[in-house]
């Protein structure tokens, strides 16, 4: 036996299989292919981690879940992580990495199905590099639509991050110790590109290998415009983190960023190759250079030979004439669009008033029950106080039937500041409290969805675990339960917030109102909403815009609401105000705009138990 063969056989492998109910997979066939592949590659130490989730509507693929149960009985090397809510491929991927214990991790996306021999050949290269990236070696087996989209996506990623990889959506294999160091945040299919880009930009050694596609992939994943907008938003966030903040993976190697890029002298074209190489080191100068270059081109094309004395458009160059004509067309289209949106808004209002008479809920005080979702992320010094004051507010509002769901998670590097331990202690001492912990980094929106999924009471609200609220004011908000479908609090003491946070909040509120034709004062408050209403909303947002997504869906679907004031404690900063957070929120808003305004998506508000 050669030394190389010994190295290959000594490597252990964790195989992550994310399951997507919207992309049905023949799991039994995939499992059989994996077993044959590890046998061919002579890998004795392996594990198969199946990570499942429900659809955005909360539906599960029962047939697949039964196959998983059978595999768990038959094969001790199989483990299962089930998410009772829709979490996205990105979180499934991170959960698998956190669960994995072998030297290498291989991720097989739910839309990939490959030949056993091809999969085995990839496994034979374990130990030859830190990471293995793959690309389809038989693209003729795929439709032209898939080929064009895949090539376009790869071209975009290569252009944005100055790389030259052939594919960003294939089967990915890398050392587990490297994967655990990557600050993964994407929740969609961008997670694979995110991993590849971080590894490649950090200087780790990698191989690019072809594999043979066994069957065609699901075309529907390329036809959802909203998902495409989400992917662009994820890439924008990744661009900020990799190119502007220069985040890298500590691989034990010294990474030196060098560039021969220099600003060109006037009247010379920029060195495009140097710009391309330099993009990861200083994207701001790159953008500046591109803008300067485009500006000079526009100036040469649009500049008229002489200044018109009479101001007639005909005296200007053809380029300027075209620009003015386009501007006129845009103004006309904008006027028409504004009128159409106004007409749609009026129709929605009439429809809302009719539907409210059929649904209006009036529950008596002694029938009210309340679930309080209390998310806590690195709040070890504040969580206990927040719990005590929230409990006081609930009791003051005279709500005897309640529960508090303390939901915690880890940092991106899998650490924590003992917040989960404190939440667990609270749950042990108070039967009204349940503790839900995530062994991975998850966003605020995910924790809210998780709370809604676990809620057992009629109404649900969120009270933050950072304790930045006035308990008397919270009690006042809770006392308004039943006066409308939704109770929407707005901050009445904005002056306690830093100026930049006030500006961010007002800008976000203005953006939501303008995009969706509403007039809400605040979209991020401790709203009280019937639990069955929440479960009717196809929630998908993981960031701080999660409540805006819910309110917009419900109000546009006919739910009535009551806005009430509430006060917060003085705050010094915000976890929401990060550049990458802005990208995530814009991604959410663009996706929601498409669904609500273009597709006309609405939810059927439950009427059970309402009169």
pLDDT tens string 47-56: 999 999 888 7
**Residue 388: how many CB atoms within 10 A of its CB?**
14
Q: What is the 3-state secondary structure (H, E, C) of 379-402?
A: CCCCHHHHHHHHHHHHHHCCCCCE
The answer to which of 17-26, 54-63, 481-490, 515-524 has the lowest mean pLDDT is 17-26
Give yes or no for residue 175 having a pLDDT over 70.
yes
Q: Phi then psi for 11, rounded to 5 degrees?
A: -80, 135
- Look up residue 233 and give its DSSP letter: H
The CA distance from 139 to 122, in Å, is 18
Least confident of 246-260, 372-386, 472-486: 246-260
Q: Whose CA is closest to 399, among 485, 463, 477, 490?
A: 477
Give me the numbers of helices (H) and strands (E) for the chain, helices first please: 20, 14
The C-alpha atoms of residue 236 and residue 77 are separated, in whole angstroms, by 38
Q: Identify the top-confidence range among 261-275, 374-388, 499-513, 597-611.
A: 374-388
Name the CATH superfamily, with its identifier, for domain 360-598: Spore Coat Polysaccharide Biosynthesis Protein SpsA; Chain A (3.90.550.10)
User: With pLDDT > 70 as the criterion, what percentage of the chain qualifies?
Assistant: 71
348 — pLDDT class (breaks 50, 70, 90) = low
Query: Which residues does 426 contact at the CB level (< 8 Å), separation at least 6?
Result: 383, 384, 387, 406, 433, 435
Same fold, 3-244 and 360-598: yes
Token pair recorded at residue 133: 């990236």
Pairwise CA distance, residues 304 & 205, whole Å: 54
Q: What is the mean pLDDT of the chain?
A: 77
Q: Which two tokens stand for residue 317?
A: 């160059």
Closest CA to 76 of 106, 99, 104, 45: 45
* Segment (H or E) for 81: strand 78-83
CATH homologous superfamily for 3-244? Spore Coat Polysaccharide Biosynthesis Protein SpsA; Chain A (3.90.550.10)
> Per-residue confidence at 273, pLDDT binned at 50, 70, 90?
very low
Count the neighbouring beta carbons within 10 Å of the beta carbon of residue 215: 12
Q: What is the pLDDT of residue 316?
A: 44
Rounded to whole angstroms, the Cα distance separating 179 from 151 reads 25
User: What Rg, from alpha-carbon coordinates, does the chain have?
Assistant: 27
Reported as a single tens digit per residue, the pLDDT across 82-140 is 988 888 888 888 899 999 999 999 998 876 666 777 788 888 888 888 999 988 876 66
Mean pLDDT lowest among 196-210, 258-272, 561-575, 585-599: 258-272
Location of structure tokens 């021969």: 260
Lowest mean pLDDT among 177-191, 295-309, 349-363: 295-309
pLDDT band with cut points at 50, 70 and 90 for residue 572: low
- Answer whether residue 186 shows pLDDT above 70: yes
Which residues on neighbouring strands pair with residue 349, listed in sequence order? Answer: none
| Confidence at 609, pLDDT banded by 50, 70, 90 | very low
Is residue 125 within 8 Å of 209, Cβ to Cβ?
Answer: yes
Q: How do the domains of the chain map onto residue ranges?
A: 3-244, 272-302, 360-598
d(CA 592, CA 515): 10
Nearby residues of 62 by Cβ (< 8 Å), 6 or more positions away: none
Q: Is the pLDDT of residue 248 over 90?
A: no
């Amino acid at each position: 036996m050669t030394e190389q063969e010994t190295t290959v056989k000594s490597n252990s492998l964790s195989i992550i299989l994310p399951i997507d109910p919207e992309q049905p997979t023949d799991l039994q066939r995939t499992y059989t292919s994996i077993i044959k592949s590890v046998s061919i590659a002579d890998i004795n130490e392996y594990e198969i981690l199946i990570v499942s989730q429900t659809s955005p509507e909360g539906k599960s693929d029962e047939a697949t879940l039964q196959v998983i149960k059978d595999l768990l009985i038959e094969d001790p090397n199989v483990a299962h992580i089930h998410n009772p809510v829709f979490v996205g491929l990105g979180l499934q991927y991170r959960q698998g990495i956190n669960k994995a214990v072998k030297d290498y991790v291989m991720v097989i996306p739910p839309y990939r199905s490959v030949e056993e021999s091809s999969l085995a050949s990839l496994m034979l290269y374990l130990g030859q590099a830190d990471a293995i990236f793959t690309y389809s070696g038989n693209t003729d087996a795929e439709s032209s639509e898939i080929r064009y989209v895949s090539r376009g996506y790869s071209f975009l990623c290569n252009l944005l991050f100055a790389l030259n990889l052939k594919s960003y959506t294939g089967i990915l294999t890398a050392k587990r110790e490297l994967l655990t160091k990557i600050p993964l945040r994407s929740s969609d299919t961008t997670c694979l590109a995110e991993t590849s880009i971080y590894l490649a930009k950090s200087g780790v050694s990698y191989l690019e290998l072809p594999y043979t596609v066994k069957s065609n992939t699901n075309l529907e994943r390329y036809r959802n415009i909203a998902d495409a907008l989400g992917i662009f938003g994820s890439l924008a966030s990744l661009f900020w983190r990799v190119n502007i903040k220069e985040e890298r993976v500590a691989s034990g190697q010294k990474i030196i960023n060098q560039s021969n890029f220099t600003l060109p002298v006037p009247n010379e074209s920029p060195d495009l190759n140097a710009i391309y190489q330099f993009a990861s080191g200083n994207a701001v100068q790159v953008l500046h250079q591109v803008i300067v270059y485009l500006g000079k081109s526009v100036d040469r094309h649009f500049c008229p030979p002489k200044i018109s004395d009479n101001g007639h458009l005909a005296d200007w160059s053809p380029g300027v004439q075209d620009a003015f004509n386009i501007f006129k067309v845009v103004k006309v289209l904008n006027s028409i669009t504004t009128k159409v949106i106004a007409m749609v808004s009026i129709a929605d209002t009439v429809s809302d008033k009719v539907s409210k008479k059929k649904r209006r809920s009036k529950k008596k005080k002694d029938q009210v029950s309340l679930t309080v979702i209390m998310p806590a992320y690195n709040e070890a010094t504040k969580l206990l106080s927040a719990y005590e004051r929230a409990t006081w507010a609930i009791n003051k509002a005279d709500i005897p039937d309640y529960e508090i769901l303390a939901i915690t998670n880890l940092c991106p590097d899998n650490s924590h500041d003992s917040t989960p331990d404190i939440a667990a202690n609270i749950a042990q001492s108070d039967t009204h409290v349940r503790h839900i912990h995530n062994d991975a980094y998850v966003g605020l929106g995910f924790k809210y969805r998780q709370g809604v999924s676990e809620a057992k009471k009629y109404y649900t609200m969120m009270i933050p675990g950072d304790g930045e609220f006035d308990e008397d004011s919270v009690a006042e908000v809770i006392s308004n339960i039943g006066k409308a479908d939704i109770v929407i609090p707005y901050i009445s003491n904005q002056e306690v917030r830093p100026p930049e946070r006030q500006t961010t909040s007002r800008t976000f509120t203005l953006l939501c109102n303008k995009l969706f034709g509403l007039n809400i004062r605040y979209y991020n408050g401790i709203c009280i909403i019937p639990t069955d209403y929440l479960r009717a909303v196809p929630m998908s947002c993981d960031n701080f815009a999660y409540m805006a997504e819910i309110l917009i869906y419900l109000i546009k679907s006919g739910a009535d609401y009551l806005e009430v004031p509430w006060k917060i404690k003085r705050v010094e900063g915000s976890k929401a105000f990060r550049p990458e957070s802005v990208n995530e929120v814009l991604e959410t808003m663009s996706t929601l705009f498409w669904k609500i305004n273009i597709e006309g998506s609405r939810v059927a508000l439950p009427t059970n138990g309402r009169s």
